């Protein structure tokens, strides 16, 4: 399972470095405008979840399924690794987003506790919506 996760992380890192700039920019923009920053967070999480879906197309172009049949991994392990990858990416990116937005708003002195608490609540809701949406799309891709 660890090897399957590493394969997917390397795939995302190799193909998604340009998106990292976009993600940092979006967190900075929401930190500047912490009152309405939760809308940027929705975009951020959907884009991060789409990185999980992009691993399917890479696997298909490399004939990964044919190669995976020769390895000592079961189909269940492959499915579990995709869902675990999605969970790790979405939860990790939510945490990274909140930290970056808070740091930018602290540096610019626009931080408000009430606005940040609203952003935390919105993060909780958006996290579950994105996980549900990503789980359904992952099932459809399998």
Predicted pLDDT at 133: 79
Give CA torsion, residues 52, 5, 38, 15, to 10 deg: -50
Q: Name the strand (E) or helix (H) holding 81.
A: helix 75-107
**Res. 34 pLDDT band, cuts 50 70 90:** low
pLDDT for 80 beyond 80? yes
Chain centroid, CA 76 distance in Å: 22
Which of the listed ranges 55-64, 85-94, 129-138 does the model predict with the highest average pLDDT?
Answer: 85-94
pTM of the model: 0.73
Which of the listed ranges 15-24, 111-120, 128-137 does the model predict with the highest average pLDDT?
Answer: 128-137
Predicted pLDDT at 31: 60
**Res. 30 pLDDT band, cuts 50 70 90:** low
pLDDT for 37 beyond 60? no
**How far is residue 102's CA from residue 133's CA, in Å, rounded to a whole number?**
26
In the chain, domain spans: 2-141
Which of the listed ranges 55-59, 107-111, 127-131 does the model predict with the highest average pLDDT?
Answer: 127-131
Q: What percent of the chain has pLDDT over 70?
A: 87
pLDDT for 140 beyond 80? no
Output the six-digit token pair for 44. 């951020």
């Amino acid at each position: 399972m660890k090897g399957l996760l590493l394969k997917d992380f390397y795939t995302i890192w190799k193909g998604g470095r340009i998106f990292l700039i976009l993600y940092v920019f979006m967190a900075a923009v929401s930190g500047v405008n912490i009152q309405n920053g939760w809308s940027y967070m929705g975009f951020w999480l959907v884009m991060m979840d789409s990185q999980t879906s992009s691993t399917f197309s890479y696997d298909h172009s490399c004939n990964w399924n044919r190669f995976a049949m020769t390895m000592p991994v079961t189909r269940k392990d492959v499915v579990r690794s995709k869902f675990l990858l999605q969970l790790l990416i979405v939860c990790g990116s939510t945490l990274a987003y909140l930290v970056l937005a808070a740091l930018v708003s602290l540096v610019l002195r626009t931080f408000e506790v009430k606005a940040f608490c609203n952003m935390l609540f919105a993060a909780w809701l958006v996290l579950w919506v994105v996980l549900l949406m990503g789980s359904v799309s992952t099932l459809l891709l399998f």
